[in-house]
Amino acid sequence: MIIYILYQYGIQSVFQNCANKCITMKVKVEKENWSQSSKQSYIYINYDEFYENIAYLCYKCGISDTFTAKEQKETFEVKKAYIWQTRYLCNKCYKDLKALKRRINEYETFWKQEKDKENVPYLLEWLSSIKELPKYRKPKNISMERKLFEIIKKMQSLVQSSRVVIIQQDGVCSLRLKSTMSLYRSHVTVSPWRMKSWT
């Protein structure tokens, strides 16, 4: 009985949230404001006179959301997005995707600055971030994924053979090779738990 009530409440909540946002509305289309590529599309001639709300399910989390007529007008006429562009992520998942991409870009920037590509402590997090992209229906950099995997595998082998010592000082993790005792410091601050996977 309790499960049934929760189930009913859940369904009602979904429909209520959808109803609150999906109030039927129309916004006039001004095709002259479309991007040049949209104007060259065959749909340009036969497109409807008004934008209308488009309901959809988020690809990532599965909740229902709406690409409102007002949002469509801004997307196609102000931001000049291609007219065939559709929404497949809810607002929360879209923000999460932007944060994920920003984090990956930061890792790529750090990577370019590294002198020794095999001695950086954020590789595990970078690899994990790359693997998250397909969940948002975005392609991942397969070649970089393989490269990071091979480097991590090599470093784990060095740690297990006690040829590498992990040092943490002032919140910054470093790797010290016993053979040369050369010190490599990361460009980012890493908390202690992030290095547990190395051992």
Work out the number of other CB atoms within 10 angstroms of the CB of residue 71. 15
Average pLDDT over residues 7-12: 45
Please indicate, yes or no, whether residues 84 and 140 belong to a single structural domain of this protein. Answer: no
Please indicate, yes or no, whether residues 98 and 183 belong to a single structural domain of this protein. Answer: yes
pLDDT tens column, 119-150: 677 888 899 999 999 999 999 999 999 988 88
Q: Is the pLDDT of residue 197 over 80?
A: no
Average pLDDT over residues 63-84: 94
Please indicate, yes or no, whether residues 162 and 84 belong to a single structural domain of this protein. Answer: no
Tell me whether strands 50-52 and 26-28 are parallel, antiparallel or unpaired: antiparallel
Q: Give the count of domains, the chain.
A: 2
Please indicate, yes or no, whether residues 132 and 175 belong to a single structural domain of this protein. Answer: yes
- Domain boundary pick from 60, 88, 116: 88
Least confident of 70-74, 88-92, 156-160: 156-160
pLDDT tens column, 75-85: 999 999 999 99
Q: In 16-171, which ranges are E strands? A: 26-28, 50-52, 54-57, 64-67, 164-169
Print the SS3 string covering 35-80: CHHHHCCCHHHHCCCEEECEEEECCCCCCEEEECHHHHHHHHHHCC
Please indicate, yes or no, whether residues 58 and 22 belong to a single structural domain of this protein. Answer: yes
What is the average pLDDT value for the chain, to the nearest integer? 76
Please indicate, yes or no, whether residues 35 and 103 belong to a single structural domain of this protein. Answer: no
Q: Is the pLDDT of residue 34 over 90?
A: yes
Please indicate, yes or no, whether residues 50 and 65 belong to a single structural domain of this protein. Answer: yes
Provide the pLDDT for residue 23. 60
Q: Choose between 8 and 68: higher pLDDT.
A: 68
Per-residue pLDDT band at 196 (split at 50, 70, 90): very low
Domain that holds residue 65: 2-88
Please indicate, yes or no, whether residues 65 and 129 belong to a single structural domain of this protein. Answer: no
